[in-house]
Structure 1
C-alpha cells in the first residue's frame, strides 16, 4: 500500500510541477476547488485538468483542496463562488448523485446549486476475492452466497459509496446473499482481503492493482460498461454475470449555478481538448483514471439519469421515502 500511495503522490507532484511551469504572468487568476485530499488519485485528476485548461482559458488555475463530508464540503464552497468562470471545481459520483438522496445529504442539492461543465474521467472499480477463498468468478460468488445462510461478506469504502451500491445492484440482479462491511477507504478493505479475514471487496482499481498483478487477490470483474485499459484481462460484470450491468465511478468539472451558457460551452470545449490530448491520457492513467469526456449538455443529462437511478436504488434499501 505504501508503494502505491508513493506512486500516486509522485504522479500528483509531477502534474502540479507541470502546471506551475505553464503559468504565465499575464494570465488571469483562477481557482480549481478540489474536494479531495492532496495526493489522492482524484486530486491528481483535478490537477491534470487544471494544468490543461490554464493556457486554453488564459487563466492560472491554482489548486484549492477542500476535502471533507465525502466531497460535499468543497462543492458547497464552489456553489457559493462567483459564477464568472474564475472558480471551477471537480466533483465525483458520491457527492453529486448519491449523497443528496441520503438522510444526511439532503441539505445540499448539487444538480441545482452547481452548473455541470464536462465529465472528464472514470475511476475504474473492481470486485476482488481473497486468493484463499476458492472464488474465481462472479458466478462462484453468487452460488456460494446462496448456499450459505450467512451469505458472503464484502468490504467497500463506506455505506452508500459507488463501491457499495455497485454490490447492492449486483445482489439485486442476481439474488446473491451479500453482506456489507463498510470501511474508511479502499486500502483497509483490501488489507483484510489479503489477510483472509474478508472474502470480497468492491474497491477502486488503484487500491487493488498491485495485488492483482502479484496474484495475491483474484480480480472477479470491473463494474463499468467496458473493460479497463488499466486491467484489460479482467472482465466486466456484464460479461461475467449480469448482461447490461454497468456502474461507473466518474469525475466531472463543475461551476457555480448561474455560470452563463456561453461560458459553460467555452470551458466544455476547452476541456474536450484537454481530455483528448495524449499527454493528458498518459497522466490520467498514471493516477488510475481513464479519460471519459461528455460535454456540458450530455453531462447534465447523464447526471439527471444517474441521480434518478441511485434514488431508486437507495429507496429499495429503505434510505429514502
Structure 2
C-alpha cells in the first residue's frame, strides 16, 4: 500500500507540475512567441508585398517575430483554410482578400471555406484601386459618354476583365446593373493582357487594376472613365469616381485584411488590431503601400466584420444576376 501511495503521489505531482506549466504558458501576455502570417498568394505579388510590409512593422510593434508563410492556391482560399484549422490562440493569422472572403463563398462551386463561420476579422489593411478605362481610339472622354454610347448599343458593349467572378468582373456587372447597361464581359488572364488589347484597339473598355493602366493613362494612350471606389484614389486623385461620373451610390472595392481562427481569444485579436492600427498609421508605411498601388485603409474588428457582411450580401446579389458561364 505504501508503494502504491508513493506512486500515486508521484503521478499526482507530475500532473500538477504539467498543469502549472500549462497555466504559466497561457498566463503569459500575448504575444510571448513568434506569430505566423499566412499569405495565400505567391511571393512577389502586390498582395504579398503589402503583407510583408505589415508583417515587418507588426513584428516591431508586438515585440515578437512575425514570420510570413506563403501558401497560394484556390483563389486565396487554400492558405485561409489552413488558418481556420490552426490552433485558435492568435499565433496564426492570415491575409484575406475580396475574392476568398466575400465572392467565392457565394459561388456554386465554392471552396470548402466559410469565412464568416471559420475566421475572425482582425483588421482591414488596404484597398486596391480599380479603374474603368477606355482605349484612346474609342473617342470616349468620360463616363457619361460611355454610358450614352453603351445605351445606344443594344447588342451590348464588350469590356475586359481579369476573369470570371473576379473583383474587376463584378465591378463591371455592378455598373451594368446600376446604370442599366448591357455589358458583355471578356475574361483575360490578368490586367496586363486586357490593357494590351485596349492599347491595340481590340477592346473598347476594361475594368483593371490601376497599377497596370496608370502609366498609359498618364501618357494619353488610355482614358480613365472612373475609379470604382467610393472615394478618389490617393494614387491618382485626378480621376473621378464612377459615382461622381454619373452613377450615384456606386462602389466596388477590392481590399485586403487580416484574419484569425474564429475562436481566437478576444484579447489576442484586440492586441493584434491595435498594433495593426498603429502600423498602418505610420506615414512611411502608408507611402510604401501606396507605392504598391494600394491605399492604407484601417478598420478594426467590429467595423471590419460589419463591412464583410455588407460586401458579401452585395456581391451575392450581383453574382445571382449573372448568367452561368457556357461550358
TM (norm. structure 2) is 0.87
- 1:303 and 2:308 aligned: yes
Q: 1:147 aligns with which of 144, 152, 156?
A: 152
Runs of 4 or more consecutive aligned structure 1 residues displaced over 3 Å after TM superposition: none
Which ranges of structure 1 fall in alignment gaps of 5 or more residues? 1-25
Aligned residue in 1 for 2:209? 204
CA drift at 1:147? 1.5
SS in 2 for 1:314: helix
RMSD: 1.5
TM (norm. structure 1) is 0.88
1:195 and 1:111 map into 2 onto residues whose CA distance is 43
Matches within 5 A, 1:285-304: 285-304=290-309
Aligned residue in 2 for 1:277? 282
2:145 and 2:307 map into 1 onto residues whose CA distance is 33
CA contact under 8 A between 1:27 and 1:60: conserved in structure 2? no
Aligned residue in 2 for 1:17? none
Aligned residue in 2 for 1:71? 76
CA drift at 1:173? 1.1
Aligned residue in 1 for 2:273? 268
CA drift at 1:82? 1.8
- 1:54 and 2:78 aligned: no
CA contact under 8 A between 2:77 and 2:111: conserved in structure 1? no
Task: Say how many residue pairs are matched.
Answer: 294
SS in 2 for 1:127: strand
Aligned residue in 1 for 2:3? none
Which ranges of structure 2 fall in alignment gaps of 5 or more residues? 1-30
SS in 2 for 1:225: coil
CA drift at 1:111? 1.2
Q: 2:116 aligns with which of 111, 136, 141?
A: 111
CA drift at 1:115? 1.0
Rg: which structure is higher?
2
CA contact under 8 A between 1:118 and 1:271: conserved in structure 2? yes
Aligned residue in 2 for 1:21? none
CA contact under 8 A between 2:93 and 2:261: conserved in structure 1? yes
CA drift at 1:220? 0.7
SS in 2 for 1:59: coil
